[in-house]
């Protein structure tokens, strides 16, 4: 699977922003019909997004974020905005597996009507409420289409009655729970937005911590955050060099009929090798095993 290190939100009602998004180097762009669009502009935004998708390819994978189920807008969002170029649909305020199942039923109908193979449109679930956090594992298992659980930290903090802080302690449980649920179900976990655009050190600190927890990428609100996100969620030169040494040493040991080796004073067994192979895969390299 291609990486999802950077997922940039783009207001769906802003033609100029949509055109700029066509060439940004993010791994994905999320054309937003929800929070970024005022209620009175929702209908026009659907047409704007669909026209942008029909006008030609984007450098990044394209995700369309529809509105939440409780707005009553999801069906019209899909009918009015979705186009064959879209890679995925992002559903906000997901609280149960049934929320995903309802979306999948609509996507099956849309695919049949537009000549797309069934299951070809992926799904991302925004987890933004206490109920969504508690049900994260069943949500992640709801469909094979589901590629990632995305943490919506701002809405979640409001739902919890928590005070949002730069250190993010109020999201500590949700962050840990979400990534465990996602990985247990075989999908990715994407971290929440960082809203201070003038604080790159703070962004890097939060993104680095998210990667240490097991997150694969981060939701972004400005193109200036793309490059730092790629740095944070990509293996460093030191990690890549370590991974190469581990894999080479292990493959040499296997060739000698040995299953466990010592490298640089540390025991290297299969879990360590598997992690090294993952690092090389993230870096675009392949080991022989």
What are the pLDDT digits (tens) for 212-241? 999 999 999 999 999 999 999 988 777 778
- Predicted confidence at residue 276, as pLDDT, reads 77
- Predicted confidence at residue 176, as pLDDT, reads 97
Residue 196: strand, helix, or coil: coil
- Predicted confidence at residue 287, as pLDDT, reads 46
- Predicted confidence at residue 252, as pLDDT, reads 77
- Predicted confidence at residue 279, as pLDDT, reads 76
Task: Write out the residue limits of the CATH 3.20.20.60 domain(s) in the chain.
Answer: 6-233
Contacts with 229 (C-beta within 8 Å, 6 or more apart), sequence order: 5, 6, 203, 207, 217, 218, 220
- Predicted confidence at residue 230, as pLDDT, reads 96
DSSP 8-state class, residue 193: P
The residue among 60, 142, 47, 160 whose CA lies nearest residue 94 is: 142
- Predicted confidence at residue 238, as pLDDT, reads 79
- Predicted confidence at residue 265, as pLDDT, reads 72
- Predicted confidence at residue 219, as pLDDT, reads 98
- Predicted confidence at residue 224, as pLDDT, reads 97
Give the integer Cα–Cα distance in Å for 258 and 260. Answer: 6
Helices (H), the chain: 15-21, 42-54, 74-81, 97-114, 130-134, 136-140, 153-160, 172-184, 200-213, 226-233, 237-255, 270-282
Rg (CA), the chain: 20
May I ask the CATH architecture of the domain 6-233? Alpha-Beta Barrel (3.20)
- pTM, full prediction: 0.87
Counting as low any pLDDT under 50, the low residues of the chain are: 287-289
Q: Do residues 221 and 152 touch, judged by C-beta distance below 8 A?
A: no
Helices (H), 57-152: 74-81, 97-114, 130-134, 136-140
């Amino acid at each position: 699977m291609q990486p999802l290190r950077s997922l940039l939100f783009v207001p769906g009602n802003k033609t100029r922003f949509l055109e700029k998004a066509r060439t940004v180097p993010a791994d994905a762009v999320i054309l937003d019909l929800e929070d970024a669009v005022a209620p009175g502009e929702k209908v026009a935004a659907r047409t704007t997004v669909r026209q942008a998708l029909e006008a030609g390819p984007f450098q990044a994978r394209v995700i369309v974020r529809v509105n939440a189920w409780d707005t009553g807008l999801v069906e019209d969002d899909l009918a009015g905005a979705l186009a064959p170029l879209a890679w995925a649909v992002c559903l906000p305020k997901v609280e149960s597996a049934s929320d995903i199942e309802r979306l999948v039923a609509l996507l099956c109908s849309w695919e049949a009507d537009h000549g797309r193979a069934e299951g070809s449109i992926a799904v991302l679930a925004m987890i933004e409420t206490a109920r969504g956090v508690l049900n994260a594992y069943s949500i992640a298992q709801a469909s094979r289409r589901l590629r990632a659980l995305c943490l919506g930290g701002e809405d979640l903090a409001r739902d919890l009655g928590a005070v949002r802080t730069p250190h993010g302690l109020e999201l500590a449980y949700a962050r840990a729970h979400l990534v465990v649920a996602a990985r247990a179900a075989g999908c990715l976990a994407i971290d929440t937005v960082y809203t201070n655009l003038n604080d790159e050190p703070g962004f890097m600190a939060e993104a680095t911590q998210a990667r240490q927890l097991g997150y694969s990428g981060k939701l972004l609100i400005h193109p200036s955050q793309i490059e730092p996100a790629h740095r944070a969620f990509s293996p460093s030169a030191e990690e890549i060099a370590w991974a190469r040494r581990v894999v080479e040493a292990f493959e040499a040991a296997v060739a000698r009929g040995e299953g466990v080796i010592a490298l640089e004073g540390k025991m290297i067994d299969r879990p360590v090798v598997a992690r090294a192979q993952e690092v090389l895969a993230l870096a675009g390299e392949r080991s022989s095993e």
